[in-house]
Amino acid sequence: MTAARLASAVLVTLALASCATPPAVPPTAADIRGLAPSGAVTMTQVFLSGTGLGTGTLTFRGRAYPFTLTGELNGLGALSGIEGAGSVYNLKDVAQFAGAYIQTSAPLSAGSAPTEVWLKNANGVIIRLAARQNGITVSSGRYEIFVQLGR
């Protein structure tokens, strides 16, 4: 992707993200108890200061759907990256996947460490990632991100 296309995608996604509201309560293991995964996801995010950018792929009903994400963390900031894969729950239609998510992970991390990341959007879609975080992050453990299908 060229720098101009990337900058354009970031601006459009940030504009859309400012119009969306993520759920107020982060998801937990209790939210998926007894549920079978409805899809799978891989994701990479990079945080610089309080802003995060990333890409990923949703696999749903045998098809792969690329996506981009932007977000912000609540806290002092970060210089870190996170890469993970996991399961998607409560997804009945691919159109439910895009939107504003609340994300939780460890509030303080440094170096390279495994972490569990939970995300939930206003459609009730929950993502549980097993991830590895590199760098340093000082936050409240709460992030708000916006996912847009396509690249």
> Does pTM top 0.75 for this prediction?
yes
Q: How confident is the model at residue 97 (pLDDT cuts 50, 70, 90)?
A: very high
Q: How many angstroms separate the Cα of 47 from the Cα of each of 1, 10, 50?
A: 19, 14, 7
Report the alpha-carbon distance of residue 87 to residue 74 in Å, rounded.
25
- How do 39-49 and 99-104 pair as beta strands? unpaired
Tell me what the mean pLDDT of segment 10-22 comes to: 51
